[in-house]
Amino acid sequence: MNLELLEKMCGKLKGTTKDIKWEIDLCFLVGEKMYCVAGLEPPLTVSLKVLPEEFIDLTNRDGIIPAPYLARYKWILVKDMNALSKKEWQYNINQSYNLIFSKLSSKIKKAIKENA
């Protein structure tokens, strides 16, 4: 995984926007809510929201830890880009997007679906 591939994967999801936050993080958002955060300072790190039942299994892998400040909301921090296969990356990015999208208001969801 690299930043270019991450941007391609996230960019394919409906309503995705990008923003730089805290001057060092590239954030991918849907409905102005973050679903993926990539650290811009080397080495590349990526944070994603995961299902509660997958959180422990993922954070038990080498190169993946509970995300600082967000672990209680079941976010992980991938420190080793090889900790996930390309297929797992796509699955987890899509899942994080869907978990955040599901919490958006009906009005925002409708607007995203209509503009996509």
Instruction: Collect the ranges in the chain with pLDDT lower than 50.
Output: none
**Amino acid in position 30:** V
Domain ranges of the chain: 3-115
Q: Rounded CA gap, 37 and 6, in Å? A: 10
In order, the DSSP letters of 31-45 are TTEEEEEEE-SSSP-
Q: What is the pLDDT of residue 34?
A: 97
Q: What is the pLDDT of residue 116?
A: 62
Q: What is the pLDDT of residue 56?
A: 96
Q: Element (H or E) spanning 112, and its range?
A: helix 106-115
Q: Rounded CA gap, 48 and 100, in Å? A: 10
Q: What is the pLDDT of residue 115?
A: 81
Contact 54, 27 (CB under 8 A): no
Contact 98, 15 (CB under 8 A): no
* pTM, two decimal places: 0.94
Token pair 């409905």 is found at: 31
CATH architecture of the domain covering 3-115: Alpha-Beta Complex (3.90)
Q: How far is CA 60 from CA 3, 8, 78, 107, 116, in A?
A: 24, 27, 11, 38, 37
